[in-house]
């Protein structure tokens, strides 16, 4: 007998060779029907795989992350089976589960797959699922595996096999489909009850754009139709808060073919948001000892040769314009200009840390396929600043920047983000990264220590650093699940030397300062895109383009309403009046839809009592009060930047 230890610590004995599924059945039939896989000694196994030794066991169902991914992985195989039956001769690459569903990459030769085909494939998958075939695991020798795929003529699987060790190769078969796969898989196809193939895309083989592009089909499946319906419903909801949709509805920004791709024009409402953000940044930076600067949008080639940007980033800069025999580039970063400001006057250690900030406009020639609403654009306004400091000052300066992030995030109620410590990749020194191995090591450790000391949770990622040093990126996700860097805090040990920046030390030596590049609010474009989705378009009052709408019940009360409006404007509150000859219900509806935080309703009652009735967007009637009291209250809310 073997001993099986359950998550709650209970130990039970079973015959050797029993499966997780058998064990589940011994507990309850209901549970057995839900088991998708099992974690055996911490390793995810097929629920149908026999266990021969004493083990710890956790049964995995749809409620567990690993259960879902196993389910989707098996769904990818089911899809491949359907594809193979419809498109004989198709060659497969890989088909993993992803965060929401799965995909499979394949080479269809000259054939093209269409949206119509997806429907046919879904139908076929449903048929195959109903046959309730079991997923059968088989260990196979490398030679036999190579033989199998040679006969099939699948060079992609053969390529995969090259990297695998003999003796550790497994095949999985369900129905008429056999695939090279390490598994695990769910017990039978019948568990897959709801199927939706979501999109067709191209994907480079092995993710390299020099390679052939394969066809990728994305899909998602569920153990019940209800869950698929809920998922589709959720997608609809997400679409409603897509910043591109809200940005248009709320008059935040626009783009135009005649202006160019990725070039945002901020409309009056968007400009209010920008100005409020800048006000916040200026207050915050002023309090933190930053000075403000303003620099031009272009610079000569020589500066970007000095900075080292050109060799690394020429492709993503707009091509230069030639003037008087000189090449001028649109700036794609503000740092070189700021370095020139640092260098304009001699510095001593007494001047450090020297902090200069600018909402700098930069232009980046992003690949056309990359552009995405406000999140990825070609002209951006950075909440930029550079801190020049000594090595001793570095940790406290870097920590102060991180604290500034936290302060901002608290104001905006930003909770869902990932702090990413982005490190270099040693094999790319001299190519993607400045060739200074010692400095990389040293500064990466400095940054890591600051994070650890500040007790900030973070993840470390290789090969994501800037060319001039390691950085901390704050990663956020758009409503449709795309990941973006919202804010960044970077170390630069390179440009100080390139620009020959120096300061005089206390013992009259010259030193090169360390530089911190930071942008806690990222860019206006990305930050406002993020905020639109974060608030679902309902900006807190301090950011709202229009803060109060005055709604007279009828035009008999227009004069009184006008007086209310004047009082609000005098108090610097962004307010408008709705004088249309519409019923109050209609005016309220339109204002609710425009997501204006406050409505003031005035009619006979208010005129008689010299009061105003207040309604909060999304929350309904808030009672009546004097106009003075209302102004005091809303001003307090605006001043403290609360809400949201």
Least CB distance to RNA at residue 311 (A): 12
| Residue from 95, 79, 39 nearest 175 by CA | 79
Least CB distance to RNA at residue 228 (A): 18
- In angstroms, rounded to a whole number, what is the distance separating the alpha carbons of residues 181 and 626? 72
Q: Are 376 and 316 in contact (CB under 8 A)?
A: no
**DSSP of 158-213:** HHHHHTSPTTSEEEEEETTEEEE------SBGGG--EEEEEEEEEEEGGG-TTSPE
Residue among 599, 627, 634, 638 that touches RNA (CB under 7 A): 599
Residue 581 touching RNA (CB under 7 A): yes
Residue 372 touching RNA (CB under 7 A): yes
Pick the piece of the chain touching RNA (CB under 7 A) from 272-280, 371-379, 529-537, 625-633. Answer: 371-379
Residue 553 touching RNA (CB under 7 A): yes
110: Cβ contacts below 8 Å, ≥ 6 apart: none
- In angstroms, rounded to a whole number, what is the distance separating the alpha carbons of residues 426 and 232? 44
Could you say which residues in the range 241-280 bind RNA, by CB under 7 A? 244, 248, 255, 257, 260-262
DSSP E strands: which ranges in 353-469? 354-363, 379-389, 418-422, 459-461
- In angstroms, rounded to a whole number, what is the distance separating the alpha carbons of residues 476 and 527? 10
Q: Are 548 and 596 in contact (CB under 8 A)?
A: yes
Could you say which residues in the range 422-461 bind RNA, by CB under 7 A? 432
Instruction: Tell me how many residues contact RNA (CB under 7 A).
Output: 79
Residue among 28, 41, 131, 213 that touches RNA (CB under 7 A): 213
- In angstroms, rounded to a whole number, what is the distance separating the alpha carbons of residues 313 and 364? 10
Residue 376 touching RNA (CB under 7 A): yes
Residue among 332, 443, 489, 512 that touches RNA (CB under 7 A): 332
- In angstroms, rounded to a whole number, what is the distance separating the alpha carbons of residues 443 and 16? 54
Residue 240 touching RNA (CB under 7 A): no
Pick the piece of the chain touching RNA (CB under 7 A) from 82-90, 172-180, 213-221, 349-357. Answer: 213-221
Least CB distance to RNA at residue 293 (A): 18
Residue among 185, 606, 627, 630 that touches RNA (CB under 7 A): 606
**DSSP of 69-88:** HHHHHHHHHHHHHHHHHHST
| Residue from 575, 579, 577 nearest 555 by CA | 579
Which class for 134: exposed (0-12), middle (13-18), buried (19 or more C-beta within 10 A)? middle
Q: Which is nearer to RNA, 186 or 362 (CB)?
A: 362
Residue 371 touching RNA (CB under 7 A): yes
Least CB distance to RNA at residue 138 (A): 31
Pick the piece of the chain touching RNA (CB under 7 A) from 11-19, 186-194, 348-356, 575-583. Answer: 575-583
Count H helices and E strands in the chain, helices first: 20, 36
Q: Which is nearer to RNA, 89 or 618 (CB)?
A: 618
Could you say which residues in the range 216-235 bind RNA, by CB under 7 A? 216, 218
CB contact burial 544-582 (16+ within 10 A = b; e otherwise): bbbbbbbbbbeeebeebbeebbebbeebebbbbbbeeee
Residue among 467, 539, 542, 598 that touches RNA (CB under 7 A): 467
- In angstroms, rounded to a whole number, what is the distance separating the alpha carbons of residues 272 and 285? 20
Residue among 131, 225, 554, 640 that touches RNA (CB under 7 A): 554
Q: Which is nearer to RNA, 68 or 376 (CB)?
A: 376
Pick the piece of the chain touching RNA (CB under 7 A) from 75-83, 182-190, 312-320, 337-345. Answer: 312-320
Could you say which residues in the range 170-209 bind RNA, by CB under 7 A? 199-204, 207-209
Q: Which is nearer to RNA, 273 or 486 (CB)?
A: 486
Residue 309 touching RNA (CB under 7 A): yes
Which class for 540: exposed (0-12), middle (13-18), buried (19 or more C-beta within 10 A)? buried
CA–chain centroid gap for 397, Å, is 27
Least CB distance to RNA at residue 426 (A): 16
Residue among 291, 431, 586, 632 that touches RNA (CB under 7 A): 586
Least CB distance to RNA at residue 57 (A): 34
Pick the piece of the chain touching RNA (CB under 7 A) from 23-31, 266-274, 347-355, 595-603. Answer: 595-603
Q: Which is nearer to RNA, 184 or 262 (CB)?
A: 262
- In angstroms, rounded to a whole number, what is the distance separating the alpha carbons of residues 149 and 206? 19
Angle at 421 between CA 419 and CA 424, to 5 degrees: 155
Q: Which is nearer to RNA, 292 or 556 (CB)?
A: 556
- In angstroms, rounded to a whole number, what is the distance separating the alpha carbons of residues 104 and 106? 6
Residue 110 touching RNA (CB under 7 A): no
Residue 370 touching RNA (CB under 7 A): yes
Q: 130-169 mask for RNA (x: CB under 7 A)? A: ----------------------------------------
Residue among 339, 355, 517, 549 that touches RNA (CB under 7 A): 517
Q: Which is nearer to RNA, 78 or 317 (CB)?
A: 317
Residue 392 touching RNA (CB under 7 A): no
DSSP letter at 513?
P
Least CB distance to RNA at residue 482 (A): 6
The 3-class secondary structure across 127-145, one letter per residue, is HHHHCCCECEEEEECHHHH
Least CB distance to RNA at residue 475 (A): 10
Q: Which is nearer to RNA, 62 or 313 (CB)?
A: 313
Residue 593 touching RNA (CB under 7 A): yes
Least CB distance to RNA at residue 207 (A): 3
Residue 601 touching RNA (CB under 7 A): yes
Which class for 87: exposed (0-12), middle (13-18), buried (19 or more C-beta within 10 A)? middle
Start-to-end CA span in the chain (Å): 60
Using the structure block, give the residue that is written with the tokens 């839809």.
593
Q: What is the sign of the dihedral through the CA atoms of 205, 210, 213 and 219?
A: positive
Residue 337 touching RNA (CB under 7 A): no
Q: Are 467 and 434 in contact (CB under 8 A)?
A: yes
Q: Which is nearer to RNA, 172 or 304 (CB)?
A: 304
Q: Which is nearer to RNA, 141 or 554 (CB)?
A: 554
Residue among 588, 596, 627, 631 that touches RNA (CB under 7 A): 588
- In angstroms, rounded to a whole number, what is the distance separating the alpha carbons of residues 595 and 617? 6
| Residue from 321, 316, 324, 326 nearest 363 by CA | 316
Could you say which residues in the range 474-513 bind RNA, by CB under 7 A? 480-482, 485, 488, 490
Residue 316 touching RNA (CB under 7 A): yes
Residue 556 touching RNA (CB under 7 A): yes
């Amino acid at each position: 007998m073997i001993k099986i230890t359950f998550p709650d610590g209970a130990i039970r004995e079973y015959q050797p060779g029993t499966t997780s599924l058998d064990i589940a059945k011994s507990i309850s039939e209901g549970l057995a029907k839900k088991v998708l896989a099992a974690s055996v000694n911490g390793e995810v196994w097929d629920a149908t795989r026999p266990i021969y030794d004493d083990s710890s066991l956790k049964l995995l169902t749809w409620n567990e992350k690993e259960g879902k991914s196993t389910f989707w992985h098996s769904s990818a195989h089911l899809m491949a089976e359907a594809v193979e039956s419809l498109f004989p001769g198709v060659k497969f690459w890989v088909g993993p589960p992803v965060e929401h569903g799965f995909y499979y990459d394949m080479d269809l030769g000259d054939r093209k797959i269409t949206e119509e085909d997806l429907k046919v494939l879904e139908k076929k998958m449903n048929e195959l699922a109903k046959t309730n075939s079991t997923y059968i695991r088989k260990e196979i020798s490398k030679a036999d595996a190579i033989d199998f795929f040679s006969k099939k003529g699948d060079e992609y699987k053969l390529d995969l096999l090259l990297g695998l060790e003999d003796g550790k190769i497994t095949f999985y078969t369900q129905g008429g489909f056999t695939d090279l796969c390490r598994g695990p898989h769910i017990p039978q196809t019948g568990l897959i009850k709801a199927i939706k193939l979501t999109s067709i895309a191209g994907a480079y083989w092995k993710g390299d754009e020099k390679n052939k592009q394969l066809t990728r089909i994305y899909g998602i499946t569920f153990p019940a139709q209800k869950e698929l319906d809920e998922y589709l419903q959720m997608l609809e909801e997400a679409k409603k808060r897509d910043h591109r949709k809200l940005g248009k509805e709320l008059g935040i920004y626009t783009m135009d073919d005649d202006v160019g791709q990725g070039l945002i024009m901020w409309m009056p409402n968007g400009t209010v948001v920008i100005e409020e953000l800048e006000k916040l940044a200026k207050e915050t930076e002023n309090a933190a000892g930053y000075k403000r600067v303003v620099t031009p949008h272009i610079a000569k080639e020589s500066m970007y040769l000095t900075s080292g940007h050109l060799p690394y980033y020429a492709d993503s800069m707009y091509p230069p314009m030639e003037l008087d025999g000189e090449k001028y580039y649109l700036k794609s970063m503000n740092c070189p200009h700021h370095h020139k400001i640092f260098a304009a006057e001699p510095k001593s250690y007494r001047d450090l840390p020297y902090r200069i900030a600018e909402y700098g406009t930069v232009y980046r020639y992003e690949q056309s396929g990359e552009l995405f609403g406000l999140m990825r654009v070609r002209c951006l306004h950075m909440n930029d600043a550079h801190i020049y400091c000594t090595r001793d000052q570095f940790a406290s300066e870097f920590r102060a920047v991180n604290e500034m992030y936290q302060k901002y995030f608290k104001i905006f109620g930003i909770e869902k983000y990932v702090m990413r410590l982005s490190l270099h990749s040693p094999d790319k020194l001299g190519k993607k990264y400045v060739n200074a191995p010692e400095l990389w090591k040293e500064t990466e450790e400095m940054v890591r220590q600051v994070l650890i000391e500040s007790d900030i949770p973070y993840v470390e990622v290789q090969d994501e650093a800037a060319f001039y040093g390691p950085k901390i990126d704050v990663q956020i996700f758009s409503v449709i699940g795309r990941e973006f860097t919202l804010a960044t805090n970077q170390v630069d040990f390179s440009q100080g030397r390139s620009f020959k920046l120096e300061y005089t030390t206390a013992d009259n030596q010259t030193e090169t300062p360390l530089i911190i590049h930071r942008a806690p609010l990222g860019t206006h474009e990305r930050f406002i895109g993020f905020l639109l989705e974060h608030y679902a378009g309902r900006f807190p009052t301090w950011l709202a383009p229009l803060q109060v709408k005055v709604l007279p019940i009828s035009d008999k009360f227009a004069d009184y309403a006008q007086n209310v409006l004047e009082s609000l404007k005098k108090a610097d509150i962004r307010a408008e009046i709705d004088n249309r000859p519409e019923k109050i219900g209609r005016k309220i509806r339109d204002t609710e839809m425009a997501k204006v935080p406050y409505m003031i309703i005035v009619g006979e009652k208010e005129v008689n009592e010299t009061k105003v009735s207040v309604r909060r967007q999304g929350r309904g009637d808030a009672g009546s009060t004097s106009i003075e009291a209302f102004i005091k209250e809303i001003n307090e809310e605006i001043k403290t930047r609360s809400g949201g």
